[in-house]
């Protein structure tokens, strides 16, 4: 069973990914892995990335509980969280991963992702795929990739790093 942790909030970077055919798609990437993902998309696959913003995904239930607060926190758009949990019986552990997608694209993306799992594994008791409705709340635009440092703007991060640097 997928843990309740899958329903918790998640920091995301919302961006537009443009492929070599100039087809643009909106992507929501977990904040902690964004720089690695960005490197792979631009250097390995030749995509370009634009229109970045820092967002917070929260479950639909959380949003409803405090809608009056969240509705004033930033731009809100419906975003689903697709959670895959696969148990590796050979090594005795589960791996859980999430993908965040615009709500209207949920079924299509879910089907594409499920198609990558071999049928014998997919039909076993070792795989769970769940979808959680939620929203993404945009908290700030990112103008430079250097701003993706601990969620701070460049000005803030320079002040923060200066505050912890040892004296010369």
Is residue 24 pLDDT above 50, yes or no?
Answer: yes
In a domain, 102, yes or no: yes
Full domain range(s) for residue 57: 8-164
In a domain, 121, yes or no: yes
The total number of structural domains in the chain stands at 1
In a domain, 15, yes or no: yes
pLDDT tens readout for residues 107-135:
999 999 999 988 888 888 889 999 999 99
In a domain, 39, yes or no: yes
End-to-end C-alpha distance for the chain, whole angstroms:
53
**pTM for the full predicted model:** 0.80
């Amino acid at each position: 069973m997928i843990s309740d942790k899958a329903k918790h909030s998640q920091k995301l970077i919302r961006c537009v990914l443009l492929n070599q055919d100039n087809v643009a798609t909106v992507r929501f990437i977990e904040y902690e892995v964004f720089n690695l993902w960005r490197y792979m998309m631009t250097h390995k696959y030749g995509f370009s990335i634009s229109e970045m913003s820092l967002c917070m995904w929260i479950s639909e239930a959380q949003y409803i509980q405090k809608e009056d607060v969240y509705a004033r926190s930033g731009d809100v758009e419906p975003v689903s969280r697709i959670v895959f949990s696969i148990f590796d019986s050979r090594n005795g552990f589960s791996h859980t991963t999430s993908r965040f997608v615009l709500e209207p694209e949920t079924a299509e993306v879910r089907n594409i992702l499920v198609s990558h799992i071999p049928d014998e594994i997919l039909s076993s008791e070792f795989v769970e795929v769940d979808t959680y409705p939620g929203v993404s709340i945009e908290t700030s635009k990112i103008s430079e990739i250097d701003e993706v440092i601990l969620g701070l703007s460049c000005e803030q991060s320079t002040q923060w790093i200066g505050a912890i640097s040892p004296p010369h």
